[in-house]
Structure 1
Amino acid sequence: MSHAPLAAGDFSAEIVEIRRESPTIKSFWLDYGEQPVGFLPGQWIDLYARVGDRVEVGGYSIVSEPGVRGRLQLAVKDSATHAVTHYLHSSARVGDVVGISGGQGVFRYERAMGDRLVLLAGGIGVTPLLSILRYVYASAAGVSATLIYSVSDPQDILFREELDAMSAARDNIRCFYTVTQPLNRDWSGFEGRINRVLLDEAGVDCDALYYFCGPPGFVDDMARDLQHGGLSPTQLIYEKWW
């Protein structure tokens, strides 16, 4: 497939699918064809889009895993103040062409890094962790991974059916959810923020690599609590969202 070039970005890609995933989040599949776009699980890309008479850029974590050839998926939370995010939510259509970079950032997982992972997510910070978990499920059967995912409301849990299916299919993949504002009376799972008590209840592996991503306060709390709990800084891999 060939794509008309945009005025910025290393590669061009066509939006081929848009889905509403939650009240505030949409997912976007981008088709880049045979172009040599490369990324590792957990990395992010720059996305360039024409907004009015300007080309604007935004950075977004990839939620798909590298084994999906020629395409990648993003999951983006709406924002009225960010030009590209607002474009994606308000006016992007299937068939639009955007510019993208290859994968970027040191927040990434490679098989040689370890075979035991704990993934801690605060809200939309789950996106790079989804890429890691999808990679583990698709391509690394010997890796154990535990996801603990904090959201304000149960309806904000991204791809829950898929996560539950992965957990049901593999004994060494486990997914836990905790709700910080449990206004829904049907919710019977964990409540409150991720903390040491919840980690102990989930039975996490103290010798694992810990990946965590979310708002700055969430990341700061996790880094402090995990180190106070005896983990080495070399076990901690994190990324903040602003």
Structure 2
Amino acid sequence: MDEPRIKVKVSEIRCETGNVKTFKLILAEGEIVFTPGQFVMLYAKIDGEEVGRAYSIASSPLDKGSIELTIELTPDGRLTPFFHKKVEVGDEFEISQPKGHFTYTEEMGNEIVLIAGGSGVVPFRSIMKYCTQKKLDTKITLLYSAKTVDRIIYREELNRLADENRNITVLYTITRQTEGWDGRAGRIDRQLLEGNFSPKKLFYICGPIPFIRDIGATLKELGADRQNIKRDVWGA
């Protein structure tokens, strides 16, 4: 038997970067219960055919009555061009029940390192907002790799969360040097990981497959236990 879907309506659309938008979806009725880091399937009718894709939930479970999905445009995809170019406030869609085990709750540990490549930062926004709203003592370090400064998703919000929550540290690194950028340049390398490593910490990696593979291998070399490394591959 198919699981019941959840009806949602677009109430707000925000441009995060030139190719990334966040869609706030109001629930038609009731609430949606999820754990930070989970995803939903988003369904839309395109040219008479139903298309579904998985998207990490960007909002916190404590944001009642709605969820937010952040969608990066993939020009050769089907769903992302539709959402970026066609969808308007008031449009209605369906989503699945929340899924996935790439999650964080306070019982899992109080020191976590979130390692993001590109739009892999999306589930980490949910985790960081949740921990801040609940005033948890969780020490969070976000290592975020983006191609250029203008491709950093949620930059102002991430900086604000770090200002509000003394337990949050945000470190950006840019892989393609941008004029005027005086921060760290290059990929997330062994040196950066080693500087934020402890065998007691939980490590979450989200981004393209090669990114996840390389980061995971380096963490193992540094001595991280396999069960302390969580991986999530994003896609469009």
SS in 1 for 2:17: coil
Q: Distance in 2 between matches of 1:156 and 1:180?
A: 11
Alignment of 1:1-242 (within 5 A): 10-182=5-177, 184-201=178-195, 203-242=196-235
Please tell me whether the aligned partners of residues 77 and 124 of structure 1 are also in contact (alpha carbons under 8 angstroms): yes
Residues 9/91 of structure 1: CA separation in 2 closer, same or farther (3 Å cut): farther
Instruction: Work out the percentage of aligned pairs sharing the same amino acid.
Output: 33
Q: Distance in 2 between matches of 1:189 and 1:101?
A: 40
Q: Distance in 1 between matches of 2:55 and 2:72?
A: 10
Letter of the 2:74 counterpart:
S
Q: Distance in 2 between matches of 1:192 and 1:57?
A: 35
Letter of the 2:221 counterpart:
H
Cα offsets for 1:110-151 (capped at 9, x unmatched) = 121111110000001111111111111111421110001000
Letter of the 1:218 counterpart:
F
Please tell me whether the aligned partners of residues 5 and 96 of structure 2 are also in contact (alpha carbons under 8 angstroms): yes
Q: Distance in 1 between matches of 2:79 and 2:25?
A: 15
TM-score with structure 2 length normalisation?
A: 0.94
Q: Distance in 2 between matches of 1:170 and 1:64?
A: 17
Q: Distance in 1 between matches of 2:110 and 2:17?
A: 32
Q: Distance in 1 between matches of 2:59 and 2:96?
A: 15
SS in 2 for 1:166: helix
Offset of residue 76 of structure 1: 0.6
SS in 2 for 1:21: strand
Residues 94/119 of structure 1: CA separation in 2 closer, same or farther (3 Å cut): same
Offset of residue 195 of structure 1: 1.4
Aligned length: 233
Offset of residue 84 of structure 1: 1.6
Please tell me whether the aligned partners of residues 64 and 134 of structure 1 are also in contact (alpha carbons under 8 angstroms): yes
Offset of residue 204 of structure 1: 4.4
Letter of the 2:119 counterpart:
I
Q: Distance in 2 between matches of 1:175 and 1:92?
A: 32
Letter of the 1:58 counterpart:
R
Letter of the 2:47 counterpart:
G
Please report the RMSD computed on the Cα atoms of aligned residues, expressed in angstroms: 1.5
Runs of 4+ displaced beyond 3 Å: 203-206
SS in 1 for 2:80: helix
